[in-house]
Homo-oligomer: A and B are copies of this chain.
């Protein structure tokens, strides 16, 4: 069982020079069709594949990107899938990295990542420690999905809170006036964006806000927040940053004897698999995570190549109306 074949082996078998083999594989012109086919046949016979390490050393390019995955294991699923597929189409391979949960340790890891020259770009699905960008000098192109870009636009539509506004306006249309927001962890820009959108909408429409509670992604905590509400708060519309928070809220409300959606309407976010089967099923925002991942990867690749950023896709999120929302029952 010999060694891995090289372009020299292919050249010998095909009766040409190594340069010719290389030209065929890099697609350079000036190779006649018969020669090209001879080379390809020889390569197939030896099942030759270019040595990427050698190529990378020669071209000074790695063709590799890093993806930082979130620590709490926020459902990656199709997000990663979309990103990987897109990267491959662009000729890149994707490596997975995760950061320490200790903040300063993580900051150093990010620096190492950027300064390592191993990656042409880094895509982060995780909130990054504050001093993330600083040492990015001759560093690789960089994009953090969950961060805001220089124009303070949330990148990747992850943080696009417009569906929240749509839900609130709909609830107002149904007759709701009193709202509560259960927020997510504040180091997630998406959570901040939703909270801001909530406050702005309350202001704009002149609604009554019982408050903004929560501040992490814990369903238990959401329960406790609802348990702590005053008895006379009904009817109420609860805007949760998350399906988990929404589920906790619904459970607490039902256990207090409140009817959902009769007394309390609740909305979530993410369209988690169980939301559809919940009792009542949860009104939520579904995300096309695959396209979301693909979009952010396209954006990263464009940044690396110096192309202009691809247009922000707008229809990546969609409100799914379900049983947990209804007009407030007159008391």
Contact = CB atoms under 8 A, between A and B. Distances in A.
A115 interface: yes
Contacts of A223: 277
B96 A1 contact: no
A276 B250 CA distance: 12
Given A274-B274, A279-B279, A98 B115 contact: no
Contact of A117 (B4, B138, B219): B4
Contacts of A251: 277-279
A290 B115 CA distance: 28
Contacts of A152: none
A245 to B, nearest CB: 9
Interface string A202-216: 000000000000000
Interface of A: 1, 4, 47, 49, 51-54, 56-57, 62, 64, 67, 69, 71-81, 84-85, 93-98, 115-118, 137-138, 219-220, 223, 243-244, 247-248, 250-251, 254, 272-279, 289-290
A81 B77 contact: no
Contacts of A219: 273-274, 276-277
A17 B37 CA distance: 46
A49 B116 contact: yes
B84 A76 contact: no
20 contacts: A1-B138, A49-B116, A53-B53, A53-B56, A73-B77, A80-B96, A84-B97, A94-B95, A96-B96, A219-B273, A219-B277, A220-B276, A223-B277, A244-B273, A250-B277, A251-B277, A272-B273, A272-B274, A274-B274, A278-B278
Contact of A75 (B51, B62, B77): B77
Contacts of A56: 53
A85 B98 contact: yes
Nearest to A76: B76
B47 A51 contact: no
A278 B74 CA distance: 20
Contacts of A274: 219, 243-244, 247, 272, 274-275, 278
A93 B79 CA distance: 20
A1 B138 CA distance: 7
